[in-house]
Amino acid sequence: MKIATLNLRHNQDRWDERFPLVVDSLHDEQADVIGLQEVWLEIHQAHMIADALNQHTPQQPYDVYLQPKWGDQPVEGIAILSRLPALAHERLELPEGQRIAQRIVVNVDGKSVNIANTHLHHRPQEDESIRLPQMQALLTWMFERAPDRWLLTGDMNAQPESTTIAAALDRLQSAYYDVHQQQPVTFPTPLVADQLPDWAWTIDYIFYTARSMRVSGCHVMADQAAPDDPKLYPSDHFGLAAQVEVMA
């Protein structure tokens, strides 16, 4: 199966122009499951994208599994688009920051596979005092539900050397690192790079349980500018896509 992840930057920074680039990037990947973050609820952003993708490949439609942030009147959320029917779908409200995680269960070659998606807090930038408890709560929730066959996608807002990512790597492995022996820069893209001239961060990940899965490839996606505008990219984040084999 193929899985992808992309932070959408909700409806900011030229969304109307970015929308076809997002659709083209995701269509090119032909992923079975896509984790999306910063999904803007007012414009039904996840459904917009799924509808456009389904027009390209109506024989393999994506279903949308959307979860808004917690709190009063949330304006954004996260979503999973899946071509594989979900046997279950649930959410976890993470500590602080109105952040959430979600999980679907899909069948792959007769095996139940758990797919989680999240967007951890971006503050404070200087320490992991919010993100680490969020990751710990997420991992506890995940492994209480199933001991194995996990994929976790998302914008962790944490770099590889952080305690937040160390906590994830206690239970999971990074798909990109295992293929390339290094981590990719996923933020920022040229869409917003002028505002953040010194930033080159790895904050987006696909994690997996190595006991039961093998990753045969992982690459950066949504990394092409519009043909007529070198600063117009699908998002302010690059995405990731991984090819995963379920072994046991």
Q: Which pLDDT tens digit goes with each residue over 46-92?
A: 999 999 999 999 999 999 999 999 998 899 999 999 999 999 999 99
Q: 131: part of which helix (H) or strand (E)?
A: helix 131-145
pLDDT of residue 152: 99
Q: Which residue has the tokens 């490949």?
A: 57
Instruction: Kindly state the tokens that stand for 164.
Output: 């937040």
Residues of the chain with pLDDT under 70: none
Model pLDDT, residue 58 = 95
**Among candidate residues 48, 6, 49, 47, the one with its CA nearest the CA of residue 24:** 49
Sign of the CA dihedral running 165, 166, 167, 170? positive
| pTM of the predicted model as reported, rounded to 2 decimal places | 0.98
d(CA 84, CA 77): 21
Report the CATH number that the domain containing residue 194 is assigned in CATH. Answer: 3.60.10.10
Q: Decide if 4 contacts 35 (C-beta within 8 A).
A: yes
Q: What per-residue confidence (pLDDT) applies to 176?
A: 99
pLDDT at 197: 82
Tell me, what's the pLDDT at 73? 87
Q: Tally Cβ neighbours within 10 Å of residue 230.
A: 9
**What range defines the domain where residue 54 resides?**
2-246
Identity of the amino acid at 96: E
Query: 229 φ, ψ to 5°?
Result: -155, 105
**Residue 30: is it exposed, middle or buried by C-beta count within 10 angstroms (0-12/13-18/19+)?**
middle
pLDDT value of residue 12: 96
HSE at residue 93, side-chain half, CA atoms within 13 A, is: 8
Counting the structural domains of the chain, the total is 1
